[in-house]
Every structure is written in structure tokens, then in C-alpha cells.
């Protein structure tokens, strides 16, 4: 078999003005910002808030929860996805917003989910049979909009061999 070269491409939308977004999307972004205040991050001072929009219009929030033993920490995305699946089994998640506040980083730029959270989001999309829109933002400034996790995790672990 000859080696083949493949190219991976990613695309996303950058929004610089929240007035371009719907009221529902702005409510989701506000919920993610609010969730940062629920973050327990005494070690990193890196406060992450996540919010999801269920198909019925409900918005749920989650925040990162640190532990002195770092492998036992829970990311905001994991917290809110687990909560959604336990409290609303079978519901489709239409969108997720993630925001970060930190004492050490500029709060103007979005920070993408960690690799583990990208895989967990990928699993959720597989579980529900459709992608969820992802909104990433800092405390203020640009918003990155993805039409699913694929552009952030093009080679995810999956059930198919595609």
C-alpha cells in the first residue's frame, strides 16, 4: 500500500458584535458567563463556565471544579453535559457556550475546550445523532462559532472507521 497524504481543514465563524446574535444565543452566552461565578478554581484561578441549550429551550449551566489532586478535577463542559444527560435523558443539546475568566490571561479571547472535553462533546454528538453549535468567548470580545465539534477535533475516537 502506498502512503497517501490527507489534508484536514477547519472553518468557523468569528463574531465581533453580540447584537448580530439571536436573543436565545445571547441568553446562552450570558448563562456561560454567569456560570464562571460558580467555578471552584483555587489552584489555577482559571474560571470556566459552560451553558447548554436543550431542544426544549431550557438552558443549563456548569462550571469547572478543581481538586488538589489535579486528575480529579471536572471541566465545566463535562459538568454541564453530565448534568444534562442525568436530568434530561434523551434530550438533544442544540448548542453549548463556553467562556473563561482568569487572573493571568487576557479575557478578550476565546479559549477552546481541552482535548478531553472535545472528545466528550464528540461522544455527545454521536449519542444524540447530530452536532451541537459551539460558541466560545472570553469575558468580552470575539466569539468563535463552530457548527459542531468536528473542526476542533477532526480525528476523534469514534464507532466508525471513516
Q: Annotated catalytic sites, by residue?
A: 77
Grid cell at residue 106: 487576557
Please state, in angstroms and rounded to a whole number, the distance separating the CA atoms of residues 30 and 58. 14
Find the DSSP H helices in the chain: 23-35, 76-87, 115-128
Our CA dihedral for 93, 157, 115, 95, rounded to 10 degrees, sits at: -10
In three-state secondary structure terms, 92 is coil
Amino acid at each position: 500500500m502506498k502512503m497517501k497524504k490527507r489534508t484536514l481543514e477547519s472553518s468557523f465563524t468569528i463574531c465581533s458584535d453580540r447584537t448580530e446574535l439571536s436573543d436565545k444565543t445571547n441568553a446562552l452566552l450570558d448563562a456561560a458567563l454567569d456560570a464562571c461565578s460558580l467555578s471552584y478554581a483555587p489552584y489555577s484561578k482559571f474560571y470556566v463556565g459552560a451553558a447548554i441549550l436543550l431542544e426544549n429551550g431550557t438552558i443549563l449551566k456548569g462550571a469547572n471544579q478543581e481538586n488538589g489532586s489535579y486528575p480529579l478535577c471536572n471541566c465545566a463542559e463535562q459538568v454541564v453535559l453530565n448534568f444534562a444527560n442525568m436530568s434530561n435523558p434523551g434530550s438533544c443539546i442544540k448548542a453549548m457556550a463556553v467562556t473563561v475568566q482568569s487572573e493571568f490571561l487576557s479575557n478578550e479571547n476565546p479559549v477552546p475546550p481541552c482535548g478531553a472535553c472535545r472528545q466528550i462533546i464528540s461522544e455527545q454528538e454521536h449519542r444524540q445523532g447530530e452536532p451541537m453549535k459551539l460558541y466560545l468567548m472570553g469575558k468580552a470580545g470575539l466569539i468563535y462559532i463552530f457548527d459542531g465539534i468536528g473542526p476542533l477535533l477532526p480525528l476523534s475516537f469514534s464507532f466508525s472507521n471513516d
